[in-house]
């Protein structure tokens, strides 16, 4: 749309269009500005509706967990409420009434609503007892776990899940009252509580707090991203088939033990974000929301959109206010009750498109604005970001999204979705493809450099070489792609063969070039920093319900006789170097040089110069780069002996630039280095 202004002669003339911020930042989006404004206006309309035209905040709206579910009353009794529009009768059954229906435990429908309520005296139930709803509807009945249950446990023998009355005499007392996440840059350690220990069993919140958090702090990460927190029936789902959205998984311990973990992390300066799953839900009816009260579509889309075709799960109906209320309340619950510092939203691509992104190429901007997008889901994600940052302005939100939807991590006022970061999912795909398909001699520094910094300039990203996705059975981690079975026989110091030496060198280089080019944050999955061997395979019938591959063998990195500690030590030093530059992620990435023939790349950030020689065979003496005049000291070298390298270069000497009269006005001189084959070095300007 254009506006009018008056010129010097008093005539009206067209002024430049007042583009929305997203389009201002990317003129190629101009043909789709109407669609972008439409999405923005839709979110504003829904926000206005939910907040009653601003008479209450979005945070006030998202307080369903205080109303629904089982709670103590101010007088010490109990109140239970559930949204169950299709129910005809609801009873609570449990340890307190021998699992038998009785009039005392029968809920009643509140007049003029779809809500059911049951009020009970203090002695009607007690902390620790198990219970469920027995729901009747026209044509059927069944036992169900309440949708808003905040504690769900599984019987060790029968494997049946039940809700649990949870009202300990003493509430958890937080030791760290206020916490402010460090984001300069955000260094994320992706982790899983259950597999976070050496023993072949399910680990606990307490074990993680005592044994793993100190490792993460010592390694230099300032944020943990915890998977599988929301209760899920099948352990092997990695937490992605959620049944009870408000219950912290009891297989790892109690809610208080999870709070103690988060509290301890905050005391150590580590932010805690949760891998939240709002993209789908488990199909199970006994444990989940699949058929809570005789209506399979109560929470989920009807018809062809009901089930996810690839995930064997159910798809939320984001067009229903009650579903939005449920999910927004879920976001607020984890922020308020457990003091999580934010979320990584899983499966965002699946939410955005009617096709769930399956079979889509996404080759041009038209693919993002062709009418195949779920405007309800887009609206929900936008509201979720507004809510989260209303509850905690310092909160961290990350979108796991593979299609490249523009504006995902752009500000809401600019027409974006409001995420703080998006996952740079192109990078691990690139490394897998490169390692699988190209000989070492064909690795091109220009392609590597383009890929690790390929992002929208107005959106921050979380860069990573590999996450848990690449560690699962059926895939391979980078270290296994590089070394494979030789890790079993040639990873003792002194016994390395050429395959192992190559893998150790490239593992470090791949991580360094990825982390050095970040514009927001960097992520690593636990254990991958030291090249954890083997895949992740959760207990299942096919492996005899073994936990052997669902653990982390910390003993390997602790053993100074093995090569793993070289990789772990390098990762720690790499993060230390990155953090030595204030606001590293905001410093400009300045290319100094690349030569695909030599396989050499050099770039600068702040006072740091990063130099890579990807050639497997050629070392270079006095290889020159034009850099700002001065002296430079080596602060990190992948080829150093302390990191399993050859130690060919003398890193103790200071490098002085060499005068060149051709570049006097540019204040640049030649920095000449010896760069061994398959190595990288980082220098800091004095």
User: Taking residues 614-634, what's their average pLDDT?
Assistant: 97
The percent of residues in the chain predicted with pLDDT above 90, rounded, is: 93
What pLDDT, on a 0 to 100 scale, did the predictor assign at position 2?
40
Distance CA(238)–CA(230), nearest Å, equals 11
Residue 534 pLDDT level (bands cut at 50, 70, 90)? confident
Residue 166 has pLDDT above 70, yes or no: yes
Handedness of CA 486, 490, 492, 498 (dihedral sign): negative
Pairing type for strands 620-628 and 608-613 reads unpaired
Q: What is the pLDDT of residues 4-38, one digit of tens each?
A: 444 444 445 455 568 999 999 999 999 999 999 99
Contact 324, 318 (CB under 8 A): yes
What pLDDT, on a 0 to 100 scale, did the predictor assign at position 4?
41
Handedness of CA 439, 445, 449, 450 (dihedral sign): negative
3-state SS, 568-612, equals: HHHHHHHHHHHHCCCCHHHCCCEEEEEECCCCEEEEEECCEEEEE
What pLDDT, on a 0 to 100 scale, did the predictor assign at position 250?
98
Burial of 364 (0-12, 13-18, 19+ CB in 10 A): exposed
Q: What is the pLDDT of residues 351-365, one digit of tens each?
A: 999 999 999 999 999
User: Taking residues 32-51, what's their average pLDDT?
Assistant: 97
What pLDDT, on a 0 to 100 scale, did the predictor assign at position 245?
98
Contact 317, 297 (CB under 8 A): yes
The percent of residues in the chain predicted with pLDDT above 70, rounded, is: 98
Higher-pLDDT residue of 667, 566: 566
Q: Alpha helix locations (H) across 517-563?
A: 554-558
Residue 227: both structure tokens together: 């998977």
What pLDDT, on a 0 to 100 scale, did the predictor assign at position 112?
95
Strand, coil or helix: what is 517?
A: coil
User: Taking residues 121-129, what's their average pLDDT?
Assistant: 97
What pLDDT, on a 0 to 100 scale, did the predictor assign at position 14?
52
Order of strands across the sheet that contains 307-308: 281-282, 313-314, 307-308
Between 406-410, 537-541, 609-613, the lowest mean confidence (pLDDT) is in 537-541
Report which secondary-structure segment, H or E, holds 308: strand 307-308
Beta bridge partners of 167: none
What pLDDT, on a 0 to 100 scale, did the predictor assign at position 16?
54
What pLDDT, on a 0 to 100 scale, did the predictor assign at position 667?
84
Cis-peptide, bond into residue 35, ω within 30° of zero: no
Distance CA(118)–CA(101), nearest Å, equals 13
DSSP state of 333: H
Burial of 453 (0-12, 13-18, 19+ CB in 10 A): buried
Average pLDDT of the chain is 95
Contact 523, 592 (CB under 8 A): no
Between 22-36, 120-134, 425-439, 469-483, the lowest mean confidence (pLDDT) is in 469-483
Instruction: Please identify every residue annotated as catalytic.
Output: 346, 400
Residue 666 pLDDT level (bands cut at 50, 70, 90)? confident
Q: What is the pLDDT of residues 541-593, one digit of tens each?
A: 999 999 999 999 999 999 999 999 999 999 999 999 999 999 999 999 999 99
Burial of 612 (0-12, 13-18, 19+ CB in 10 A): buried
Residue 213 has pLDDT above 90, yes or no: yes
Residue 660 pLDDT level (bands cut at 50, 70, 90)? confident
Q: Which positions ≥6 away from 13 have C-beta within 8 Å?
A: 4, 5, 6, 7
Contact 275, 227 (CB under 8 A): yes
Hunting for tokens 């504003």 — which residue is that? 44
What pLDDT, on a 0 to 100 scale, did the predictor assign at position 532?
95
Higher-pLDDT residue of 641, 55: 641
Distance CA(502)–CA(511), nearest Å, equals 14
Hunting for tokens 């590089």 — which residue is that? 482
Strand, coil or helix: what is 526?
A: coil
Residue 664 has pLDDT above 90, yes or no: no
Burial of 220 (0-12, 13-18, 19+ CB in 10 A): middle
Other Cβ atoms closer than 10 A to 166: 19
Residue 642 has pLDDT above 60, yes or no: yes
Alpha carbon of 97 to those of 103, 129, 243: distances in Å? 11, 10, 25
Higher-pLDDT residue of 438, 5: 438
Q: What is the pLDDT of residues 265-307, one digit of tens each?
A: 999 999 999 999 999 999 999 999 999 999 999 999 999 999 9
What pLDDT, on a 0 to 100 scale, did the predictor assign at position 17?
60
The DSSP secondary structure of 601-666, one letter per residue, reads EEEEETTEEEEEE--SS--EEEEEEEEESSEEEEEEETTSGGGTS---S-TTSEEEPB--GGGGGG
């Amino acid at each position: 749309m254009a506006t009018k202004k008056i010129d010097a002669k008093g005539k009206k003339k067209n002024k430049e269009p007042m583009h929305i911020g997203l389009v201002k930042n990317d003129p190629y989006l101009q043909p789709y500005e109407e669609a972008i404004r439409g999405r923005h206006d839709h979110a504003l309309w829904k926000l206005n509706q939910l907040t009653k035209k601003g008479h209450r905040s979005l945070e006030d709206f998202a307080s369903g967990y205080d109303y629904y579910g089982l709670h103590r009353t101010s007088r010490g009794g109990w109140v239970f409420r559930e949204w169950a529009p299709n129910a005809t009768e609801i009873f609570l059954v449990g340890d307190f009434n021998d699992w038998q229906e009785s009039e005392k435990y029968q809920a009643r429908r509140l007049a003029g609503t779809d809500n059911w309520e049951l009020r009970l005296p203090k002695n009607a139930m007690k902390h620790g007892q198990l219970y469920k709803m027995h729901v009747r509807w026209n044509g059927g009945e069944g036992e169900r776990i309440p949708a808003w249950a905040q504690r769900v446990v599984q019987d060790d023998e029968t494997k049946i899940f039940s809700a649990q009355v949870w009202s300990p005499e003493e509430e958890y007392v937080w030791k760290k009252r206020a916490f402010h996440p460090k984001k300069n840059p955000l260094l994320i350690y992706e982790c899983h509580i259950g597999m976070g220990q050496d023993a072949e069993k399910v680990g606990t919140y307490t074990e993680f707090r005592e044994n793993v958090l100190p490792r993460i702090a010592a390694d230099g990460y300032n944020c943990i991203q915890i998977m599988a927190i929301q209760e899920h029936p099948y352990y092997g789902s990695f937490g992605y088939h959620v049944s009870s959205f408000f219950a912290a998984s009891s297989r790892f311990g109690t809610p208080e033990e999870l709070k103690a973990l988060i509290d301890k992390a905050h005391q150590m300066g580590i932010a805690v974000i949760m891998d939240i799953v709002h993209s789908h839900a488990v199909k199970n009816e006994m444990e989940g929301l699949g058929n809570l009260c005789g209506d399979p579509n109560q929470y989920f889309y009807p018809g062809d959109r009901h089930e996810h075709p690839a995930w064997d799960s159910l798809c939320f109906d984001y067009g229903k206010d009650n579903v939005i209320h449920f999910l927004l309340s879920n976001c607020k619950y984890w922020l308020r009750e457990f003091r999580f510092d934010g979320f990584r939203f899983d499966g965002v691509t699946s939410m955005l498109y009617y096709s769930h992104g399956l079979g889509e190429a996404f080759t041009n901007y038209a693919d993002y604005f062709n009418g195949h997008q779920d405007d309800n889901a887009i609206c929900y994600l936008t509201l979720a970001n507004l809510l989260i940052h209303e509850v905690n302005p310092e909160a961290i939100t990350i979108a796991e999204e593979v299609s490249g939807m523009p504006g995902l991590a752009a500000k809401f006022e600019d027409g974006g979705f409001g995420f703080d970061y998006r996952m740079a999912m192109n990078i691990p795909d690139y490394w897998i493809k490169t390692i699988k398909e190209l000989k070492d001699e064909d690795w091109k520094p220009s392609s590597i450099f383009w890929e690790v910094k390929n992002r929208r300039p107005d959106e921050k990203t979380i860069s990573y070489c590999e996450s848990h996705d690449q560690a699962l059975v059926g895939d391979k981690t980078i270290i296994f792609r590089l070394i494979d079975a030789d890790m079993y026989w040639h990873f003792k110091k002194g016994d390395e063969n050429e395959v192992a030496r190559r893998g150790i060198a490239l593992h470090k280089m791949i991580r360094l070039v990825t982390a050095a080019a970040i514009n927001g944050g960097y992520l690593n999955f636990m254990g991958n920093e030291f090249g954890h061997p083997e895949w992740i395979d959760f207990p299942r019938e096919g492996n005899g319900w073994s936990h052997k591959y669902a653990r982390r063998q910390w003993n390997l990195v602790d053993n100074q006789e093995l090569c793993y500690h070289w990789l772990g030590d390098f990762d720690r030093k790499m993060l230390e170097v990155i953090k030595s530059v204030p606001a590293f992620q905001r410093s400009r990435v300045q290319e100094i040089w690349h030569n695909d023939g030599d396989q050499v790349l050099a770039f600068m950030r702040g006072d740091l110069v990063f130099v890579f020689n990807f050639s497997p065979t050629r070392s270079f003496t006095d290889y020159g780069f034009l850099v700002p005049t001065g002296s430079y000291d080596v602060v990190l070298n992948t080829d150093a002996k302390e990191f399993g390298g050859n130690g060919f270069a003398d890193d103790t000497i200071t490098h002085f630039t060499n005068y060149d009269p051709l570049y006097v006005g540019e204040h640049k001189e030649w920095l000449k280095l010896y760069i061994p084959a398959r190595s990288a070095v980082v220098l800091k300007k004095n």
